[in-house]
Chain A
């Protein structure tokens, strides 16, 4: 079942024109800089502002206010009701939709358990940590079994260390959720870890969309290139060795086990005409597939095992006499590679 949305919002000189389709079970990330219209799009989809035409499963949501749309929203700062316990917060949605109090409490307790907060039912939001509050917000949004789950910068309010853990938890919950998910974020890493497809928005228009891999490999604008300037892979870790799903192995500094995401910036990649020797680096041969000139650097797309994107200086391009088809050696320091548990 596909959800189709046509979002048309005009505010002053700003216009949002966004057509979205989201499959059941799919997570779409709406990625873009501040002021691109991401939050406007989310509010229109939610019915909090006018301009969101949505078709889903033979029905249209046009003109329906938020309270009549089958949605769940996780807000950036969660907006948990401060005077209610965590359980009452989660039970609020079912109660508002007419479920009896006892039944709503059962549903809410289950949802809290799913996010690992069974022991926090009686806790007031202000006593919860940022990560816990985020999980209560997710449980609350999912408690009504919404068709469409909207996440507005769900990790932005967390500090770096919490963020890592909450991100992989969120990825797991999103995989289990059968409905349609739209994630609004300005963080490319969140988008790549959590989403199946990226929709990149600039000045109220879609500038590019595709799988995280496609977008990283072929950014269509400078903005996108900078935004998603990351090499991104999925793989299986065994201590400091990671076997990548799409071929190739990498040696990393921090040991890990099981499925992981692997991320490193294109600037961490060095290119050499011959196999470099004598350093504990990841090296592998690769062929230049594309060269793209940006303002201060040149982005080189390389086929190999794994395929990789490198940002190098214009001088290096000249030194190496790079052109499509050139064969080179790729080198990458283990300490430049970040790995995250995949779930």
Chain B
């Protein structure tokens, strides 16, 4: 390997420091002695449990809707596919708080759809746990769709033709041939989607509010605790950091070792 020029090396090292020092700071400032008590406290436990449940439910919603959507984008022969893909990826770059406002306008009690949900079924979504799930799914689904679509595009469609010549319907082909062959992409997309849902803040607090036990997920709890109990905020942050590292470790084959 050649010696990198200083003009590149120095900014690169600064970049590493910029990314890693704050995380190290979190560990340095952590109230280690007090950690077990904090971790086992009711507030932390409640927020953690709520986060895990809502993120998992949101991921299931994303899988049920996102995998067929990815298939449509990758294989479907529909006009305006490029535009559709662009629209679907909007939540990826949209500030989550805007997503939250949008959800509120549509699904809120006075919203375009929400008023009928309320009127006909007596269902209200904002400021409920279901609302948290919806907000998380809204923000996280593009991650899953993009990942699965990429895997589907990379998969050789001739295997689907081979299945067709053997008499398989398109649904059977999808289930038995296509889906298993893109499983690594689905798993990666699911993990990314789940991690994104777990860390969701902006859309959740806008659409679902911050009600402990009902809508206060871990990120919201961190924000809340920072005002009142900074040590608790650090503990919650460390838990989220550990979850993130675990996710990275789970995806190491795909990301850390580079493209294979």
Contact = CB atoms under 8 A, between A and B. Distances in A.
A96 B167 contact: yes
Residue of A68, A71, A92, A150 with highest tally of chain B CB at under 10 A:
A92
Interface stretch (A75-83, A158-166, A279-287): A75-83
Interface residues of B, number: 19
A96 B161 contact: no
B167 A48 contact: no
B180 A48 contact: no
A66 B180 CA distance: 22
A201 B181 CA distance: 36
A73 interface: yes
Contact of A65 (B158, B164, B172, B181): B164
Given A79-B159, A82-B181, A92 B176 contact: yes
A15 B49 CA distance: 65
B172 A96 contact: yes
Contacts of B164: 47-48, 65-67
Contacts of A47: 164
Given A79-B158, A81-B159, A66 B165 contact: yes
A94 to B, nearest CB: 8
B166 A144 contact: yes
Given A92-B176, A96-B172, A79 B166 contact: no
Contact of B166 (A65, A82, A83, A96): A96
- Interface size on A, as a range, is 20 to 34
B168 interface: yes
Contacts of A81: 159, 162-163, 176-177, 180-181
A83 B181 CA distance: 7
B20 to A, nearest CB: 39
B163 to A, nearest CB: 7
Interface string B133-158: 00000000000000000000000101
Contacts of A79: 156, 158-159, 161-162
Contacts of A68: 167
A126 to B, nearest CB: 13
Interface in B166-202: 166-170, 172, 176-177, 180-181, 183
B181 A66 contact: no
A140 B165 CA distance: 11
B169 A96 contact: yes
A48 B166 contact: no
Given A81-B177, A82-B181, A83-B181, A97 B162 contact: no
Contacts of A141: 165-166
Nearest to A76: B158
Given A81-B177, A83-B180, A96-B163, A67 B158 contact: no
Nearest to A80: B162
5 contacts: A79-B162, A81-B180, A92-B168, A96-B163, A144-B167
Interface of A: 46-48, 65-69, 71-73, 75, 79, 81-83, 92-93, 96-97, 140-141, 144, 150
Q: Which 7 A-B pairs have the closest CB atoms?
A: A93-B166, A96-B168, A66-B164, A79-B162, A96-B167, A73-B165, A97-B167
